């Protein structure tokens, strides 16, 4: 796979899974502008999770957009930023697209932001 200007979205290095093997880790970023969502090379999909609900103790994120990729063929989906909280997740090849797989990475990412409204996230599906 050739390198492109999309290297900025290159997935983070592998993390150690509980079975001792390295598991691919997604790259998470908060969206702050409207974008054309395209999964970067090396990824199987880019997902946008949007904060849709919260209650006493949780923030609930929903799958809002998914743009798939296979080798050089990639879908492009327009995302209009409205000011609402939206998290982009670039899923490296080999990582399953599921709420269960993404949830710990989303929790770690949000925790790293040290925000003062930081209830644990739940990905609804």
Which residues of this chain interact with another protein, rule CB under 8 A?
30, 32-33, 51-58, 82-85, 107, 113-120
Q: How far is the CB of 115 from another protein (least distance, A)?
A: 4
Least distance in angstroms from the C-beta of 34 to another protein: 11
91 contacts: CB under 8 Å, gap ≥ 6: 11, 24, 26, 39, 43, 44, 45, 46, 47, 97, 102
In which region does residue 76 sit, left (phi positive, over 0), alpha (psi from -120 to 50) or beta (all else)?
beta
Rounded to a whole number of angstroms, the minimum distance from the CB of residue 110 to another protein is 9
Which C-beta is closer to another protein: that of 5 or that of 114?
A: 114
Can you give the C-alpha Rg of the chain in angstroms?
Answer: 14
């Amino acid at each position: 796979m050739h390198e492109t200007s999309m290297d900025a979205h290159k997935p983070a290095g592998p993390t150690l899974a509980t079975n001792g093997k390295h598991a691919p880790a997604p790259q998470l970023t908060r969206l702050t502008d409207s974008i054309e969502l395209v999964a970067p090379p090396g990824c199987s999909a880019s997902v946008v999770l949007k904060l849709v609900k919260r209650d006493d103790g949780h923030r609930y994120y929903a799958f809002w957009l998914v743009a798939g990729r296979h080798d050089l063929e990639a879908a492009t989906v327009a995302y209009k930023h409205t000011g609402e909280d939206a998290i982009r997740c670039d899923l490296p090849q080999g990582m399953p697209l599921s709420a269960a797989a993404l949830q710990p990475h989303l929790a770690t990412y949000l925790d790293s932001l040290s925000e003062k409204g930081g209830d644990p996230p739940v990905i609804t599906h």
